[in-house]
Amino acid sequence: MKGLKTFPRGGIHPHGNKNLTNSKEIVKADIPGILVVPMAQHLGAPAQAAVAEGDVVTEGQLIGKAAGFISAAVHSPVNGTVKEIRDVFMANGMKSSAVVIEKEEGFVPAEKSKSDSWKDKSAQELNETIKDSGIVGLGGATFPANVKYGVPKGEKAEYLIINGVECEPYLSADHRLMLEKTEAIIEGLRILKKIVEPEKIAIGIEINKPDAIEKIRKQAEAENFELEVVPLKLKYPQGDEKQLIKAVTGREVPSGALPISVGCVVSNVGTVNAVYEAVALEKPLYERTVSVTGHGVKNPGNYLVRVGTPIRQLIEASGGMADKFAKVVIGGPMMGFTVFDLDTPVTKGTSGILVLTDREVSGGQRTACLSCGKCVGVCPMGLNPTKMFKYIDHDEYQSAMDTGLMDCKECGCCAFTCPAHIPLVQGMRLGKKMGRKKVS
């Protein structure tokens, strides 16, 4: 289709593999007997446990207090008893304290009913509810949502842009949400309109989801809700907030600046649904939609999952692993993390669990850089990945940072396209970590 908007610089077109799950309705996953709920599920300071071993907890009860401005509260996903508080490893390899809860026997999740009482609340009160409900960006970034929605004094949000792009291959949880929770999403947008006070609201959806484009557009029209639905050309990483802003508005967020510097606030469509649930259903964030997919799992599907559920259980619910699986990834194949422990719990940031076969795992022997420049051509941030990697390889972290390392989104376009199979993204991640250490 000609004339579709997209971001102009770099980007790639990996095989989507969305057809494994994009027609699979979201089903409620079984709730395990033991749930391991980490305190560090978000960007910023980990929450501090607000319960102790032996405490009886109820579904939705605060079990972790936000520990600073950039932090998020954590809530119990079930009625049960705190068995212990211990350290666990997260998908990204970081350690986190976690509250281990044994589910009460015969536990039945509470039914939530919709209330309109939020309409009498002020913008500040509503954002406070979002904060107290532990809402974070569900697209994977897990940035505390209330901080994003609290537009600083003197700034103005011209655009509230909703991210319905879901450009990572395989994942379809957001696609299904747009189809199955359309009314909730529009109500969530009404809530955000009151908090953020944007001049315009737009939702960007890639053209491989024509049913979602149609459904959202029709629902907004039926409710007389002013929403610009922007169909976008397929291109990865369009779900990155800077690329999405560029695609929808043509504006460029400067290096090191936030979207509000160009009058934009961006929020993922799953987060909008979570905002609706927090405000209109008074339900904190303790479950989310997860795609369990890849050719290494027998029956891929989409699930509504309680935080703290081991990924092993979801793989089993999807028919278990096929004989020839090569690796398990949490998140998408481009930006996700390979996990080795199937007891790793689902967290607020878990958008997908991929079980991939050898055929799906791009491999190949690493060779010396061919100086082909392909990585430079596909970098959406206009960086020089090969140059930065060489600096990092020689422990010259400051030089890598001076070359723009901190602007790297770790999107993986460079590594995907590199014919020499150089682990460019791993290099960028390491370089950032080491660079930050040197500076602090």
Stretch that binds ligand SF4, among 99-107, 184-192, 222-230, 421-429 (CB under 6 A): 421-429
Stretch that binds ligand SF4, among 46-54, 124-132, 311-319, 404-412 (CB under 6 A): 404-412
Stretch that binds ligand SF4, among 77-85, 88-96, 376-384, 393-401 (CB under 6 A): 376-384
**One-letter amino acid identity for 409?**
K
The verdict on 373 binding ligand SF4 (CB under 6 A) reads: yes
Shortest Å distance, C-beta 336 to ligand SF4: 14
Q: Which of 29, 184, 269, 428 is in the footprint of ligand SF4 by CB under 6 A?
A: 428
> For the stretch 363-378, what's the b/e string if a residue is b when 16 or more beta carbons lie within 10 angstroms of its beta carbon?
eeeeeebeeeebbbeb
Cα–Cα distance, 193 to 428 (Å, whole number): 37
Nearer to ligand SF4, 81 or 398 (CB): 398
Cα–Cα distance, 168 to 334 (Å, whole number): 7
Shortest Å distance, C-beta 276 to ligand SF4: 32
Burial class (CB in 10 A: 0-12, 13-18, 19+), 201: buried
Shortest Å distance, C-beta 352 to ligand SF4: 19
Shortest Å distance, C-beta 383 to ligand SF4: 5
Shortest Å distance, C-beta 296 to ligand SF4: 25
Stretch that binds ligand SF4, among 84-92, 104-112, 144-152, 424-432 (CB under 6 A): 424-432
The verdict on 423 binding ligand SF4 (CB under 6 A) reads: no
The verdict on 381 binding ligand SF4 (CB under 6 A) reads: yes
The verdict on 411 binding ligand SF4 (CB under 6 A) reads: yes
How many residues of this chain bind ligand SF4 (CB under 6 A)? 27
The verdict on 335 binding ligand SF4 (CB under 6 A) reads: no
The verdict on 67 binding ligand SF4 (CB under 6 A) reads: no
The verdict on 371 binding ligand SF4 (CB under 6 A) reads: yes
Q: Which of 409, 431, 432, 435 is in the footprint of ligand SF4 by CB under 6 A?
A: 409
Is residue 54 within 8 Å of 100, Cβ to Cβ?
no
Cα–Cα distance, 67 to 144 (Å, whole number): 12
Shortest Å distance, C-beta 379 to ligand SF4: 3
Is residue 254 within 8 Å of 144, Cβ to Cβ?
no
Nearer to ligand SF4, 126 or 422 (CB): 422
Nearer to ligand SF4, 305 or 422 (CB): 422
Shortest Å distance, C-beta 10 to ligand SF4: 7
The verdict on 386 binding ligand SF4 (CB under 6 A) reads: yes
Give residues in contact with ligand SF4 (CB under 6 A).
Answer: 369-375, 379, 381, 383, 385-386, 408-414, 417-420, 422, 424-425, 428
